[in-house]
Structure 1
Amino acid sequence: MSIPPPPGPHQPQGPYQPPPQYPQGPYGPPSHPQPQGPQSPYGPYQPWVQGYSPYNQPAPVNGLAITSLVFGVLCCLPGVGLLLGLIALRQIGRRGERGKGLAIGGSVLSGLGLALWVLMLATGGASSFWEGVKEGARNGASISLVKGECFDAPGGSLGGETSDVDKVPCSGEHDGEVFASFRLKDGTYPGDDSVSSTADERCYGLQDAYAMDGWAVPDDVDVYYLTPTEGSWSAGDREVTCVFGNVTEGANLTGSLRNDATVLDPDQVAYLKAAHVLNAALATAPDTEYVEDDLPGHKKWAGRVSAALAEQARMLRANEWPADAVGQVTVLASDLDKARAEWAKAAQAKGLDAFYRHYDTGLKLLDPKKAVPARKALGLETTPPPDDKGDDRSGGSSGGGSGGALAV
């Protein structure tokens, strides 16, 4: 029998226990002893540990880096894109996330965009850019037509609403010819009736500047206009386009109606300018059915006509006419003087009978046929139009004819 040696200072009391054995894995024994669980008759208990995945899990991409790149590419908010890019770089370094290249790219692009915006503000380019944007919105909201252009309307009608027209040469058949345009005042939409009323008044007043010789405008032609709708108004559309169109359903215009200083000679322009002075005064007649309904108003109107006749005669005598037209123009000026005297007496009439007497005489002296010899000598149209159209006539057109509106 052997007696074991006495226990040393570092030896446990009791029977000798062999050192614990650890199972050998494919990677060798663990570097640190694993905690022992309850003993099992089959050996030491191995606690559960997290298993090993054969596939690596990649680090996530930083979301701010992606956002920074988007802002940098779009260049819409360069300051925000630059700030997000710098924050993303800091987060990536601290969290070990991916997306460093995205953050750097977004920061660089945003920085360039920010520098461009600063340069545009310093040079006024931003203002020009914004005006271009607004102009583009207006063009997108309205039909782009300029004076002298001709077009065909959808269905051949110059009424109702439309979003587009087809531009065509004026030399052929067409539905309308643009003779003027103007912009309405900014503000809230004034309403359909207000827009149409303004367009009617302004367009009828502008037609003479484009078609100076009213005798050359066909009898079945009247004034139409393209106006903004409430919808296009909200997009910045303020444009009213004045056009000539045919009042006969299904009929077209053929050839341009333009006759102004661009196509007339100086003598023709001088004659027509003098004629327009009288036409403008005649068009201011009181809006009453009978003279007796507003005799004071008609007397004031007669005074305006008398003054216009004096000015017309003065303008005719002031121009140096061609030799073959001097005689005819001189005779016409003398007839205007005689008519002026009668209209002046009508303006001073003491009663209704006296007004009618001088008014009737003065009106006969304004017979359009008296202007035919002078017109023929100057190469202008010689067929007088109906009483409600043209110039060199006894009445004027103040607007409100049979034309209409095409809303856009």
Structure 2
Amino acid sequence: MSASVPPPAEPEPGSEGSPAPLFASPDGPAPAAPDPWSLPVPAAPPPVVPESERLVGYAPQTHLADGWDPRALGTLAPPAAPAPRERLAVPAFVLAWVLAPVGAVLGVVAAVRARRARRRGVGLAVAAVVVGLTVSVVVPTVVLPSSEAWARAVGATAPLGDVTGPTSAYARQLRDGHCLESLPDGNVRRVTVVPCDGPHAATVVAVVPLRGSTWPGDAEVLRVVETRCRVTAPSGTDVVALTPTAAGWRAGDRSGLCLARAATGT
């Protein structure tokens, strides 16, 4: 017969020959060992910046701007509407080219109203004043005197017939046989024509036509007219040549006059 041998008893905790638990709990079993994957990972050390790239006097730190909140747009004020334009500014500028004096006056009114009411259009109103004044000065002094249409409008090219009394006329209207109250001196545009049976200072004895389309100059025009006057002058009379100016030439005057002085007492 074989005798059964009982298994050896397990050693009690804390006895010699058995490992002691890490954490002893008087009221229950020992806790399990911690999971190594749940332990915190140590932070990586900061990068090493070379000495040559370091900013002197500034700490190596990062500054992040605050986040942009689209909801803030709802608190912004709407853009202001542009100021209205002065209603007289545009008509003033247009009239300055057609009716210059009216446009200039209207431009002054528009500029004053725009400044007082803080409206747009001050620059356009000032431009109307400048254009109106310029046209008012240039047209009567430069454009009209040199315009053939203006000369015809005032009757400067209409031939003058017989006169029964003192009559004011343009020099280019004179014809042979007209008598002048006084002898022209210098640049003249109008002369006084009187009946030849009364007192007069000079008589037109010839009208000298001038050729060409471009202005030949004062000296050339005077030479042509004086040459003709010496040929047509009555014997024993003093003849004076009357020639057109450059402005008269541009206006269409293409003729010179030979004036013979009247005898004393006639």
**Normalized against structure 2, the TM-score is what?**
0.36
Larger RCO: Structure 1 or Structure 2 (Cα < 8 Å, ≥ 6 residues apart)?
1
The structure having more radius of gyration, on CA atoms, is 2
**Normalized against structure 1, the TM-score is what?**
0.25
